[in-house]
């Protein structure tokens, strides 16, 4: 797959820069050509790195616009804001220009009049063609929107421009230096993560041998900026949000790093490109089938790392107004909100890299080997670059994030810490042991045995279920649960100690 991907942006850039440097060398006077030749490799590396950083940043920013679009549209359906009513209405009047006609008027003896009345009210209240100008129309929140292709797609850009024009106010008693530096730490480290994330076999900005370690180290810096922002605001709500963020970071960063270590063990490399190539070229099996427990652990810990529901206690609106960023506004609030989206987007891309084969289409080798349709699939895989498959996997996984947001409630702080320390940490160690055993005892040069995936899935589920239900009820009744704030007995009026 790596050699057949025609979208070789890095190769094209390297050729153009090399030609430009050679041309510049030939145009220079003979007296300085030797000096230029000595620095030419360094200049070529510098310009190539600059071009690829620009390309990766442009791809990230342009494709990032799809993420809030998915969030708005999908959450509107899942949370049933207008979806059920619109779908019910479409059963008899259609959507937009599609309509079933005024069939109720054809019923005898005026039997369809009540249906027509109800339809008119529904169309007026929830339709997309009524003349009333509402905030939903202005903000393009409707079912169809204004742009015919992707309605509401540019709403995120419009919201960002609106934030850019708002006033920025620093609290009077805030630590102004840390208050201003904290957003820079959060935003800069989040953008730096994308330097180590490949969007394709030839689309990456930096590829050191230990790119996995560099990337995870930078990924873990942003929550520290969250704590600094909460502390520097000199606000009780922001301080509590920052402390919650620090506690959550401590509880979930360790299982995340151990899970990532198991990926490196099973792939035999700390390089992200080599991890993807191991799944595509070497083992011909995605890691999600070899380490299903690791995939679940990585997904859960990443959701906690990016502080999305149900792990959004640092920004619990009902309790902390807006959490650690309550005192921020204007362009800084908009940038940090975009950073939250970027971190979630990076988590989705990393899951695609570590467990879903990166830029490989599902069952690509099998589809290409089919007797009749194999040639057709081979042409499709040749035409469509690997970048497309990476983005599609990331977007689908982000839709799963939105589904989790709509399905689960926010977890209490003590439950978050208990789940991280008592469940995820031991399970991540079990996953590391499984990965080590597989790499040393099961893996062969011919690939994984056919029994490996189903057997390992059953073993992983067994460990998860047994560990989850292994609680001593009698012991729990005699002592307070760790990290719990609840009392053992209910408090009734008049029973308080004096």
- Is the pLDDT score of 314 beyond 50? yes
Q: Mention every residue, 6+ apart, whose C-beta is less than 8 A from residue 279.
A: 267, 285, 286, 287, 357, 358, 360
Cβ–Cβ < 8 Å for 448, 283: yes
Predicted confidence at residue 125, as pLDDT, reads: 55
Q: What are the boundaries of each domain within the chain? A: 9-66, 83-130, 176-472
Q: For the residues of 182-242, what is the DSSP string, one character each?
A: HHHHHHHHHHHHGGG--SBTTB-S---TTHHHHHHHHHTTHHHHHHHHHHHTT-HHHHHHH
Residue 255: pLDDT band (50, 70, 90) is very high
Predicted confidence at residue 132, as pLDDT, reads: 41
Task: For the chain, give the longest Cα–Cα distance.
Answer: 102
Q: What is the CA radius of gyration of the chain?
A: 27
Predicted confidence at residue 224, as pLDDT, reads: 80
> Over the range 142-155, which residues count as b (16 or more CB within 10 Å of their CB) and which as e?
bbebeeeeebbbeb
DSSP H or E segment with residue 432: helix 425-437
Lowest mean pLDDT among 84-88, 109-113, 332-336, 337-341: 84-88
> Over the range 374-409, which residues count as b (16 or more CB within 10 Å of their CB) and which as e?
eeebbeebeebbbbebbbebbbebbbebbebbeeee
pLDDT of 179-218, one tens digit each? 888 888 888 888 899 989 999 888 888 888 888 998 888 8
Predicted confidence at residue 96, as pLDDT, reads: 45
- Is the pLDDT score of 129 beyond 50? no
- Is the pLDDT score of 459 beyond 80? no
Q: Is the peptide bond prior to 310 cis by the omega test (within 30 degrees of 0)?
A: yes
| Structure-block tokens of residue 268 | 């035999």
Residue 100: pLDDT band (50, 70, 90) is very low
Residue 4: pLDDT band (50, 70, 90) is low
**Half-sphere exposure of residue 449: CA atoms within 13 angstroms, side-chain side:** 10
pLDDT of 23-65, one tens digit each? 988 888 888 888 888 898 999 999 999 999 999 999 988 888 8
Task: Tell me what the pLDDT averaged over the chain comes to.
Answer: 77
| Structure-block tokens of residue 186 | 């959060």
**Residue 444, strand partner residues:** 447
| Structure-block tokens of residue 4 | 């057949």
Predicted confidence at residue 142, as pLDDT, reads: 44
pLDDT greater at residue 449 or residue 134: 449
Predicted confidence at residue 235, as pLDDT, reads: 80
pLDDT greater at residue 456 or residue 130: 456
- Is the pLDDT score of 99 beyond 60? no
pLDDT of 149-184, one tens digit each? 555 666 667 777 777 777 777 777 777 888 888 888
**Half-sphere exposure of residue 438: CA atoms within 13 angstroms, side-chain side:** 28
- Is the pLDDT score of 348 beyond 80? yes
| Structure-block tokens of residue 274 | 């080599």
What average pLDDT does this structure show over 423-442?
A: 85
- Is the pLDDT score of 80 beyond 60? no
Predicted confidence at residue 93, as pLDDT, reads: 45
- Is the pLDDT score of 244 beyond 70? yes
What average pLDDT does this structure show over 486-490?
A: 49
- Is the pLDDT score of 91 beyond 70? no
Predicted confidence at residue 450, as pLDDT, reads: 64
The CA distance from 380 to 364, in Å, is 10
Q: Mention every residue, 6+ apart, whose C-beta is less than 8 A from residue 402.
A: 70, 71, 74, 75, 78
Residue 253: pLDDT band (50, 70, 90) is confident
DSSP at 480 = P
Q: For the residues of 374-398, what is the DSSP string, one character each?
A: HHHHHHHHHHS-HHHHHHHHHHHHH
What average pLDDT does this structure show over 475-497?
A: 51
Q: Percent of the chain beyond pLDDT 70?
A: 74
pLDDT of 387-430, one tens digit each? 899 999 999 999 888 888 877 777 777 778 888 888 888 888 88
Question: 364: closest CA among 387, 397, 386?
Answer: 386
Cβ–Cβ < 8 Å for 372, 359: no
pLDDT of 352-368, one tens digit each? 999 998 888 887 777 77
């Amino acid at each position: 797959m790596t050699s057949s991907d025609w979208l070789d942006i890095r190769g094209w850039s390297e050729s153009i820069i090399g030609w430009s440097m050679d041309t510049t060398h030939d145009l220079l006077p003979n007296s300085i050509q030797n000096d230029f030749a000595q620095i030419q490799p360094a200049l070529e590396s510098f310009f190539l790195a600059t071009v690829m950083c620009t390309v990766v940043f442009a791809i990230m920013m342009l494709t990032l616009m799809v993420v809030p679009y998915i969030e708005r549209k999908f959450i509107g359906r899942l949370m049933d804001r207008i979806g059920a009513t619109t779908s019910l209405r479409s059963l008899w009047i259609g959507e937009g220009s599609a309509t079933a006609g005024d069939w109720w008027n054809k019923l005898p003896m005026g039997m369809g009049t009540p249906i027509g009345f109800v339809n008119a009210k529904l169309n007026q209240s929830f339709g997309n063609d009524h003349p009333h100008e509402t905030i939903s129309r202005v903000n393009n929140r409707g079912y169809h929107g204004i742009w015919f292709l992707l309605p509401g797609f540019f709403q995120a850009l419009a919201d960002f421009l609106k934030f850019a024009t708002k006033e920025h106010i620093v609290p009077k008693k805030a630590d102004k230096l840390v208050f201003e530096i904290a957003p820079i730490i959060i935003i800069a480290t989040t953008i730096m993560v994308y330097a180590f994330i490949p969007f394709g076999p030839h689309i990456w900005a930096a590829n050191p041998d230990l790119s996995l370690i560099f990337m995870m180290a930078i990924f873990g810096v942003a929550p520290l900026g969250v704590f600094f922002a909460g502390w520097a605001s000199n606000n009780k709500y922001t301080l509590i949000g920052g402390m919650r963020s620090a506690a959550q970071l401590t509880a979930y960063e360790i299982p995340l790093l151990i899970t990532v270590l198991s990926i490196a063990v099973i792939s035999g490399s700390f390089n992200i490109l080599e991890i993807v190539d191991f799944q595509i070229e070497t083992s011909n099996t995605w890691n999600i089938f070899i380490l299903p427990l690791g995939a679940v652990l990585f997904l859960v810990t990443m959701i906690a790392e990016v502080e999305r529901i149900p792990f959004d206690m640092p920004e619990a609106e009902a309790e902390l107004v807006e959490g650690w960023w309550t005192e921020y506004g204007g362009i800084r609030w908009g940038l940090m909100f975009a950073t939250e989206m970027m971190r979630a987007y990076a988590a989705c891309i990393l899951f695609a890299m570590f467990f879903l084969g990166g830029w490989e289409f599902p069952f690509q080798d099998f589809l290409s080997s089919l007797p009749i349709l194999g040639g057709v699939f081979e042409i499709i895989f040749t035409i469509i670059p690997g970048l497309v498959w990476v983005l599609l996997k990331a977007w689908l996984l982000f839709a799963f994030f939105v589904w989790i947001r709509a399905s689960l409630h926010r977890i209490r702080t003590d439950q978050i810490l208990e789940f991280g320390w008592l469940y995820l940490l031991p399970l991540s160690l079990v996953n590391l042991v499984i990965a080590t055993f597989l790499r040393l005892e099961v893996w062969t040069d011919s690939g994984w045995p056919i029994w490996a995936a189903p057997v390992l899935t059953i073993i992983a589920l067994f460990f998860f279920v047994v560990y989850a239900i292994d609680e001593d009820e009698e012991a729990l009744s005699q002592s307070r649960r760790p990290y719990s704030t609840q009392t053992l007995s209910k408090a009734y009026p008049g029973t308080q100690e004096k």
